[in-house]
């Protein structure tokens, strides 16, 4: 008897969950701010070298992070699909390497991510993603001031820029 009641309740729960999921996806609610921002970026600017293009905004990493902490929706609307030139101090560098089949056994850097400080009172920062095989010398020390240009692609806890290129190092 208990097994029968459990099966009936489980079946009803699955039915309600299925109906809810159907209407959720049918009404287009499956796209959050992040996915719509990425779609707009894909429509506006193809992923390629932006080093020769003018930045739409020139900001400090601390100011950019603070702007998103104050009002994420307004900042997302302002920066979606835009090229941002951001200056800040390097918090961390991630180099992603792989063995390339080219008669040598050495690993080559295929992509990199530079994290910029968002400020002393901020939990946010700026993530700068470099394209694979980008022609940028990434080797820099942390706490080094740097200016990077990239395309805004979203905000999680950090502002995310993709297709980045180094504009200036202030070493």
Burial class (CB in 10 A: 0-12, 13-18, 19+), 88: buried
Condensed to tens digits (0 to 9), the pLDDT of residues 50-90 reads 878 899 999 999 999 999 999 999 999 999 989 999 999 98
Condensed to tens digits (0 to 9), the pLDDT of residues 113-142 reads 888 988 777 788 999 988 765 555 665 567
Q: How many CB atoms lie within 10 A of CB 92?
A: 12
CA distance 1 to 70: 56
Helices (runs of H) and strands (runs of E) counted in the chain: 4, 6
Q: Is the pTM of this model over 0.85?
A: no
């Amino acid at each position: 008897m208990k097994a029968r009641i459990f099966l009936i309740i489980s079946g009803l729960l699955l039915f309600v969950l299925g109906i809810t999921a159907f209407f959720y996806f049918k009404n287009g609610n499956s796209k959050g701010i992040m996915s719509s921002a990425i779609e707009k970026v894909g429509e506006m600017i193809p992923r390629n070298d932006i080093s020769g293009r003018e930045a739409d905004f020139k900001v400090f990493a601390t100011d950019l992070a603070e702007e998103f902490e104050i009002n994420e929706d307004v900042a997302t609307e302002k920066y979606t699909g835009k090229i941002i030139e951001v200056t800040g101090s390097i918090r961390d560098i991630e180099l992603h390497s792989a063995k390339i089949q080219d008669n040598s056994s050495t690993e080559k850097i295929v992509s990199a991510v530079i994290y910029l400080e968002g400020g002393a009172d901020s939990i946010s920062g700026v993530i700068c993603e470099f394209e694979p095989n980008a022609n940028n010398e990434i080797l820099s020390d942390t706490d080094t001031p740097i200016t990077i240009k990239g395309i805004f692609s979203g905000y999680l806890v950090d502002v995310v820029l993709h297709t980045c290129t180094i504009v200036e190092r202030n070493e």
